[in-house]
Structure 1
């Protein structure tokens, strides 16, 4: 019986590596820690088949973190899961505007989601050194980011786009892979969520440290 936390995690990762091998799935050395962290967090080995990494995603993400880049999060659930203590060691912080008063009013005025307005606010105020966009819950936030980039907004160093849902999520993630001028990490299909987004971010932070 294994009871020590570090030993439990080590054994879990060993099992995950064996399962990936049995499934015939292989990943580059730099992205493998992120894949293992997602599987470890969810307990679902099948997610590995739908995880997609831009070739520069991990390296650009690590570079942004080491440079003190801030992280935009679409919802508070993502914010609460990120290891902000470790992130602060790199000089970074998280930014979430979902409850911002201006965002709420603008969303009501235009009859659109707060997630869309949150992304627009983050894009318009890049003075806050936001260099990584993490979208784990709201598909419309991902669509807003893609549209902003199409209109000429400065691409971030990394987009982690793993929103969950049956309306728009799969389509917008496919669009991210097709059109994004920025490196990205995504999970194709309807699956996703804040837990997966957090797992990816925390794995990147650990690598950066």
Structure 2
């Protein structure tokens, strides 16, 4: 008789069969990734990012502030808001997983007032979206996750250095060729909040979603061990 499939957790696939496939994917990654220097609390985040992208270069490109994972887990467990730069991240996040922790996701890049303000100030919508989040007090104690717009990440850094924002943790993963790598280095250099970055030009909304799902899984594990 075959062993029954494990009951999936909230932060896994919705069916036991789906969870089994996901676990096998993770096992394949563990076998093929080669050596890595990530401690046990960071590797699940990197592994899920590799799973989402099939890009083994994440092994090494993903770097963590020493307190990033613990800060993210604590924020998720208390239901801190996620502030994201684009709609793609918001719609990519699992509703059951968010509801489990009571997390609200905020993004303002398509807000008509944000668009108008960006045009008036001759800046990007991403910049004004982060300012809107700060004005509403949403950046305090939140999980900020940037996967598309380097200008959003640079604005978060500016707001932190000006004392106008204090997120719990910042995921800096914008993809691209103009200021993407530089914005991540600015976040690291600022060191005003714990951070997780993908160094260089690589990044993207898919990687942010993967990282957030991994962090929610770690938070659920922490809850179950209480």
Please, what TM-score do these two structures have when normalized by structure 1?
A: 0.93
CA distance in 1, matches of 2:97, 2:178: 34
Tell me, yes or no, if the aligned pair for 1:65 and 1:90 is still in contact at 8 Å. Answer: yes
Tell me, yes or no, if the aligned pair for 1:137 and 1:164 is still in contact at 8 Å. Answer: yes
Q: CA deviation at 1:149?
A: 0.8
Tell me, yes or no, if the aligned pair for 1:51 and 1:185 is still in contact at 8 Å. Answer: yes
CA distance in 2, matches of 1:127, 1:144: 14
The structure with more helix, counted as a fraction of residues: 1
Q: How many residues align?
A: 204
- Which residue number corresponds to residue 64 of structure 2? 53
Which residue, 202, 210, 214 being the options, matches 1:191?
Answer: 202
Cα deviations by residue, 1:137-163 (Å, 9 ceiling, x for unpaired): 000000000011111123211101100
Q: Judging changes above 3 Å, is the alpha-carbon distance between structure 1 residues 91 and 74 closer, same or farther for their aligned structure 2 residues?
A: same
- Which residue number corresponds to residue 29 of structure 2? 16
Report matched runs for 1:1-209 at 5 Å.
Answer: 4-20=17-33, 22=34, 24-126=35-137, 131-209=142-220
Gaps of 5+ in 1: none
Tell me, yes or no, if the aligned pair for 1:149 and 1:180 is still in contact at 8 Å. Answer: no
Gaps of 5+ in 2: 1-16, 221-226
Q: Secondary structure at the match of 1:36?
A: helix
Cα deviations by residue, 1:46-99 (Å, 9 ceiling, x for unpaired): 122110111111111111111111100100001011113211221111001011
How much is the aligned-residue C-alpha RMSD, in angstroms?
1.4
Q: CA deviation at 1:180?
A: 2.5
Please, what TM-score do these two structures have when normalized by structure 2?
A: 0.86
